[in-house]
Amino acid sequence: MNAPLPSPAGIELIALTKRYAQGSVAVDGINLRIASGSYCCLLGPSGCGKSTTLRMIAGHESTTSGDILLENRNITALPAANRGTAMMFQSFALFPHLSARDNVAFSLKMKGVDKATRQQQAQALLERVAMGHLSTRKPGELSGGQQQRVALARALITQPRVLLLDEPLSALDPFLRTQMRAELRHWQRELGLTFIHVTHSQEEAMALADTMVVMDHGRIEQVGAPREIYNRPASEFVARFMGGHNVFATTQGKVAVRNDHIQLAPTSSTGWPATVSDVEYQGTYVLLGLQLDGEATGPVSVMLPEATFVQRPYAPGERVDLSWDPALAHTLTA
């Protein structure tokens, strides 16, 4: 038996602003539409305003100005519990002394729901996330993946239409993080809810998101699908933050070129002269660090497939020319 779930909802932010008392602007008039039922990642460096944005959506932080709409309903002034949103916290934050079922039922207990009803609802939600058979275990008796599902069920007990996740995976070791990321994506699809997930990891955001929102200094730099943002970064900031790109100031303007789209040739050809500074073996590819000659200094990275490198290896100190197919150079507007 499956617990009924509420329908997902879209979120719209209109000129949303948060200014803290000291006068610093954490979120600077952002406008954003998040589609109902989508997986949205807010991505950006530490301090760019991701958590503040999420906490304003959740109702855990007041807004300075602007509006938050949930499916056309203005929720800006509503208390957190009446918004139709729920938050899933870092490292799951389960109560260690309570069973999975009591963890899930906890907020209903706080609301004064009778024991039979809350246990039945908690059990139904645990079944929904394939944890029904383990509902009497305590968190310490569950794997990381199972704990995450309990945390998910606990967030879902309030019937949210939008689930908010603030760096849910960042305290986990890299192996578990990748595993849990796949689980999150699976459950988002399975439950059909809107997820808004904050992360500073571009790799995590690209793996998870239908829509990525790249932020810097309280503003939105770019919104789009991961492939769109990776292949068409709107600004030098996005190109550099996403990684895997080199930025060149050419006679046609500033361009971003992916590090797997750069060719190396012996000097005396017609490319950009450079010197190899370091060589890193990464398994399926080899990453070369290079220093450009002349005025246009700054490090450049080039990624060669392992087989290409084995056929023609490069060593630190070696002089080369860099070139790329102009069709693969993306012009930056800012």
Footprint of ligand ADP (CB under 6 A): 20, 24, 26, 44, 46-52
48/180 with CB nearer ligand ADP: 48
Q: Is 53 in the site for Mg ion (CB under 5 A)?
A: no
109/200 with CB nearer Mg ion: 200
Amino acid present at 309: F
37/49 with CB nearer ligand ADP: 49
CA 258 to chain centre: 21
Question: Of Mg ion, ligand ADP, none, which one does residue 26 interact with (CB within 5 to 8 Å by kind)?
Answer: ligand ADP
CB of 45 vs ligand ADP, minimal distance in Å:
7
61/102 with CB nearer ligand ADP: 61
Span near Mg ion by CB under 5 A; candidates 46-54, 142-150, 241-249, 300-308? 46-54
Span near Mg ion by CB under 5 A; candidates 13-21, 51-59, 74-82, 203-211? 51-59
* Helix residue ranges, H only, the chain: 50-58, 100-110, 115-128, 144-156, 174-191, 202-208, 226-231, 236-242, 306-311
Q: Report the distance separating Cα 191 and Cα 37, nearest Å.
A: 9
Q: What count of other Cβ atoms lies within 10 Å of the Cβ of residue 274?
A: 26
Span near Mg ion by CB under 5 A; candidates 49-57, 132-140, 182-190, 315-323? 49-57
Q: What angle do CA 176, 179, 185 make, to 5 degrees?
A: 135
Q: Report the distance separating Cα 158 and Cα 152, nearest Å.
A: 11
CA proximity to 106, closest of 130, 86, 82, 84:
86
Q: Is 51 in the site for Mg ion (CB under 5 A)?
A: yes
List residues bridging with 273 in a β-sheet. 321
Question: Of Mg ion, ligand ADP, none, which one does residue 20 interact with (CB within 5 to 8 Å by kind)?
Answer: ligand ADP
Q: Which residues bind Mg ion (CB under 5 A)?
A: 51
